[in-house]
Structure 1
Amino acid sequence: MPATARLLTPDPTDPRTPVVVAARRTPVGTAGRSLAAVDVVGLTAPVLRALAGDLGDLAGHPDVVDEVVLGNCMGPGGDPARVAALAAGLGLAVPGLTVDRQCGSGLEAISLAALHVAAGDRLVLAGGVESASTAPTRLALQPDGSRVPYDRARFSPDDIGDPGMGEAADALALARGVSRERQDAYAVRSHRRALGASAAGWFDAELVPIGAVERDERPRAGLDPTRLARFRPAFGPDGTATAGNSCGISDGAAAVAVVDESTRRALDLPGLAIRATASTGVHPALPGLGPVPAVEAVLKATGLDWDDIGALEVTEAFAAQLLACTDEWGLDPLGADAERVCPEGGAIALGHPWGASGALLVVRLFSQLVRRGGPRFGLAACAVGGGQGVAMLVERVG
């Protein structure tokens, strides 16, 4: 069955259209390093407080926020969204919902926020968080009754196939003919563009410092294809995904404020109207292709095509995965489409805090389209372990 999208509005001027009017994130830290002592609540609460501050009188009083929705994959349970809302001082009456769509959790949380607003809520704060550094150790039951630690939850039943994301990236590169050379070239591009954006101050307005940590930790200067070519395959002797052309395991949080269009007009704020969202399934053996049908669904629902899309943010879990998707879409991020596909770097350079990464895409689109008056239309998309894809199409308004 073809993927279908949730069309939030055919008309962004409709009073019930959900609109992102503020967007913030923490710096992204490499797991075990700069943010290693900060748990999911410690990462999220400052971001929620910053959003409330950005909104001024609307969210400056307790209990004005209708809902907090957060994506999280590997945290402690206990509904971190509710705990973070309380820690941020949003008020005792503000509920919290934590969702898990693995690497797409943060983007799914914002999709749910859009549905809440379209149904009548006035203000929802939504995003995602991951603290790989403080994630609890989980134990799997063995046939003999013992329990042993495991690295990840199951993505798919054995009879379908349950590859890890790294192994699946290698399989995708082989299936779609994405060479090691292209992967390394893309990884170099991600770091260079992230460093350039940081030096230009393009991240400054979106960042919320956590203690003394004020900048993203992972981007590296001095990388070139020759240096990356020396990295060994990370997931199998014949693979092409390496530590150099793959994302890092990371800590971080990102969130946005979603209001209805009538509230946006009353506040006289620019924003991103959420026009359509989609989630879809693909075969778990090649989960990296998940964004392809999801993106195609939101384009079809809105009547737009690639000529209309000025900015595309895709989670760079692996260079092979991103390049396989852009090949399917007929885009060339190493050539003609360099200025619209992850133009300021992505997860390969910045890191991949799983539950937060989808929300990070929307924060980046907000900075590009709203803060700097960029293109009218943008797309966010991410692939999900187990064979899923999530996509969101936004339009600059105001």
Structure 2
Amino acid sequence: MTSDRDPVIIAARRTAIGTRGRALASVRVEDLAAAAIRAALADAEAAIGAPIGVAEVLLGNCMGPGGNLGRVAALASGLGMEVPGGTVDRQCGSGLAAVLDAATAIRAGDERPRVAGGVESASTAPVRSIGGVAYDRAPFAPAGFADPGMTRAAEDLAVHDGITRERQDEYAARSHSRARAALIAGRFDAELVPLAGLDRDDAIGAAEPFLSRFPALFDGGTVSAGTATRIGDGAAAVVVAPAGAAPGLVVRAAAVIGCDPALPGIGAAPAIEAALLSAGATVSDVAAFEIVEAFAAQSLAVLNRLGLADDDSRVCADGGALALGHPWGASGAVAVVRLFSRLVRTSTPAGTLGVAAASVGGGLGIAAVLEVAR
């Protein structure tokens, strides 16, 4: 039963995801976020039938220019100067973490609605340097711990779990095929905010015909460019309000779990298990999963641990990040938007459960159990 303090996601929108260096490459990161924020707020106000006083804007971001993007995006969205903003960094789980932080504030008793989500402009991410020497990324783990890059970690996980090249190719092809079918059927239309002439995720189908032709990224390996997501530019935003404000997704439970930094791709699995345990539910009770697909090998490793089949129709039913693209700090929030479309924008009955989750560099998993409220 929903209580008055249960946080409910009452609106959810996202920009289309543009592959790094393409259609959205010239759009500033705060403008990406502002487009999604304005659209989500307009939907929420339409659902409630009244203007919304926003308490705060919380955004996930990994590689942006700094300067507290949550605050910058709040101002860029046209919200009043009195509306504060904050920025969350849990790497690929940042957007989902921001949504959960907003939900926590409401559950703690502050009943003012909040905007939360994530944004990333990989195209405009600044070059970082130490002592004048540029580097690709900050460490995911300190000295003394394994600290693989995510591609290397995906390859190591494929070896660890015995995940074959064929299985990875089939999984990636399925993600593209599902996304293409959803695109043709218009299942993305209600969630998307066109921007800079881009009205669809531009990576859908791009790799599918060539999956078997991509060479392995490591000698003797199985991970290829076709079974790795395309890094993208994009943003997603949701409005979180107290129960009863409007139909939506109740944030029923959540978990953040640490795992071995050497195999960070498995992190989503224990996080999902912990969140479901907190919700008093099991994997079989879940109608829809949105698990960020950074790599096919990583996704398959998570499904292995959850006891789910490679082609389970509940998992990324309209394709996942392998087809849509991966705007790092936004992807966790994109997963929430996708669940909102799959469960709230359809006739799914109250009480239906969905799970959003991501594995995170450095050995983390984050997950949320969301329940349809009508």
Do the aligned partners of 2:23 and 2:196 also contact (CA within 8 Å) in 1? no
Structure 2 residue runs of 5 or longer lacking an equivalent are none
Alpha-carbon displacement from aligned partner over 1:178-204 (angstroms, at most 9, x marks no partner): 111000000000111111101101000
The separation in 1 between residues aligned to 2:329 and 2:191, in whole angstroms, is: 18
Aligned length: 370
Secondary structure at 1:374 match in 2: coil
Per the normalisation by structure 1, the TM-score is 0.90
Match of 1:230 in 2: 213
State the one-letter code of the partner of 2:180.
L
Match of 1:281 in 2: 258
Query: Is 1:307 the equivalent of 2:284?
Result: yes
Query: Is 1:298 the equivalent of 2:272?
Result: no
Structure 1 residue runs of 5 or longer lacking an equivalent are 1-10, 142-146
Match of 1:40 in 2: 29
State the one-letter code of the partner of 2:165.
R
Deviation of 1:87 (Å): 1.0
Match of 2:41 in 1: 52
The separation in 1 between residues aligned to 2:204 and 2:43, in whole angstroms, is: 28
The separation in 1 between residues aligned to 2:308 and 2:254, in whole angstroms, is: 21
Counterpart selection for 1:220 from 181, 205, 214: 205
State the one-letter code of the partner of 1:294.
A
TM-aligned CA distance change 1:309 to 1:295, over 3 Å: same
Match of 2:347 in 1: 373
Deviation of 1:89 (Å): 1.0
Match of 1:393 in 2: 369
Counterpart selection for 2:126 from 123, 136, 152: 136
Secondary structure at 2:370 match in 1: strand
The separation in 2 between residues aligned to 1:397 and 1:237, in whole angstroms, is: 50
Match of 1:8 in 2: none
Query: Is 1:251 the equivalent of 2:233?
Result: yes
Please report the RMSD computed on the Cα atoms of aligned residues, expressed in angstroms.
1.5
Deviation of 1:59 (Å): 9.4
The separation in 2 between residues aligned to 1:197 and 1:386, in whole angstroms, is: 33
**Moved beyond 3 Å, runs of 4+:** 57-62
The separation in 2 between residues aligned to 1:284 and 1:238, in whole angstroms, is: 23
TM-aligned CA distance change 1:296 to 1:239, over 3 Å: same
**1:4-23 correspondence runs (5 A):** 11=1, 13-23=2-12
Deviation of 1:17 (Å): 0.3
Alpha-carbon displacement from aligned partner over 1:295-340 (angstroms, at most 9, x marks no partner): 1111111111122101011000000000011011110132xx2x20
The separation in 2 between residues aligned to 1:88 and 1:60, in whole angstroms, is: 18
Alpha-carbon displacement from aligned partner over 1:196-227 (angstroms, at most 9, x marks no partner): 10110100000011131111111116835xx4
Secondary structure at 2:169 match in 1: helix
Secondary structure at 1:277 match in 2: strand
TM-aligned CA distance change 1:222 to 1:90, over 3 Å: closer
Counterpart selection for 1:321 from 292, 298, 322: 298
Match of 1:114 in 2: 103
Do the aligned partners of 1:53 and 1:60 also contact (CA within 8 Å) in 2? no
Deviation of 1:374 (Å): 3.4
Deviation of 1:140 (Å): 2.3
Do the aligned partners of 1:52 and 1:60 also contact (CA within 8 Å) in 2? no
Deviation of 1:158 (Å): 3.0
Match of 1:125 in 2: 115
The separation in 1 between residues aligned to 2:23 and 2:196, in whole angstroms, is: 10
Per the normalisation by structure 2, the TM-score is 0.96
Deviation of 1:372 (Å): 1.2
Secondary structure at 1:394 match in 2: strand
Match of 1:155 in 2: 140
State the one-letter code of the partner of 2:281.
L
State the one-letter code of the partner of 2:190.
A
State the one-letter code of the partner of 2:41.
A
The separation in 1 between residues aligned to 2:200 and 2:372, in whole angstroms, is: 27
State the one-letter code of the partner of 1:240.
T
**1:250-269 correspondence runs (5 A):** 250-262=232-244, 264=245, 269=246
TM-aligned CA distance change 1:173 to 1:59, over 3 Å: farther
Deviation of 1:27 (Å): 0.3
Do the aligned partners of 1:192 and 1:221 also contact (CA within 8 Å) in 2? no
State the one-letter code of the partner of 1:354.
W
Match of 1:270 in 2: 247
Secondary structure at 2:277 match in 1: helix
Counterpart selection for 1:209 from 177, 194, 199: 194
Identity %: 54
The separation in 2 between residues aligned to 1:346 and 1:283, in whole angstroms, is: 24
Do the aligned partners of 1:195 and 1:221 also contact (CA within 8 Å) in 2? no
Deviation of 1:61 (Å): 5.0
The separation in 1 between residues aligned to 2:163 and 2:50, in whole angstroms, is: 50
TM-aligned CA distance change 1:377 to 1:48, over 3 Å: same
Match of 2:323 in 1: 349
Do the aligned partners of 2:208 and 2:226 also contact (CA within 8 Å) in 1? no
Match of 1:7 in 2: none
Do the aligned partners of 1:59 and 1:65 also contact (CA within 8 Å) in 2? no
Alpha-carbon displacement from aligned partner over 1:230-281 (angstroms, at most 9, x marks no partner): 21112x212211110110111000010000103x2xxxx3200000111011
